[in-house]
Homo-oligomer: A and B are copies of this chain.
Amino acid sequence: MGKSETARNPRTPKKTSSAANAQARPARRPAAARTETPYHHGALREALLKAAERVLERDGLAGLTLRAVAREAGVSHAAPTHHFGDLTGLLSELAAVGFRQFNAAMASACDAATTPLERALARPKAYVAYAQAHPGMYGIMFRTERLDYSRPSLHEAAEASFAGLANAVGMMRQEQISEDALTLTQGAAIARAWSMVHGFTMLLLDGRLEDILDRLPEGTTAERLLEAMLTAPITGKPTGP
């Protein structure tokens, strides 16, 4: 292993709008067919990531294979390997895309909030909403074991996600969260916020909250349950199960 990922630079000829994924590559026709489907794709890496996203949404996590992505992008089955090294590489880069989408969604939700209550609930709601809108992507990000966090793009995107969370908790507690040291109380607050929302999301996606939702008053949505979970008065006793 250790095939250092080639830093592929965008020399992209003209890219045009044929980036709309030219399917139906009619096999090799080298000299003549230069107008379409050149031997060198030009922006295959990005095309593969987009193809992977489509496959993921269409066929789920189980259908997301290197060869399926290659088929979707209309290239040979071994083409992805050259750009991502192996399946872990592809999944990791795709997870990085997901984290960036996720971070953008969180930021935009925060900006839209006005009242204090809204501001407090905006991020959790956006968190769950993203996962529900992109369950496959969320699965790549948080369910898969095959992620390589030593890849810079993934490490960065995930780190940014964590930083946003820690920062939001700090805001909530109206105190500065240091970069390199935390009190136990601060760490507990961050862990609680993250665990709660992440756990809720996973249980929800796995259908394990159906038992609860079905027993709740008619028409109670998952979002309403989330709200209640985050805002309900605390008994003063430990809240463990």
Contacts and interface: CB of A to CB of B under 8 A. Distances in A.
B199 A200 contact: yes
Interface string A201-214: 01100101101110
A39 interface: no
A209 B193 CA distance: 12
Nearest to A171: B241
Given A189-B232, A195-B195, A195-B200, A181 B239 contact: no
Contacts of A187: 212-213, 215-216, 220, 225, 228
A142 B196 CA distance: 16
9 contacts: A120-B238, A121-B240, A124-B241, A180-B215, A183-B217, A184-B217, A191-B212, A193-B241, A197-B199
Interface of A: 60-62, 117, 120-121, 123-124, 127, 139, 142-143, 145-146, 162, 165, 168-169, 172-173, 178, 180-185, 187-200, 202-203, 206, 208-209, 211-213, 215-217, 220, 224-226, 228-232, 234-235, 237-241
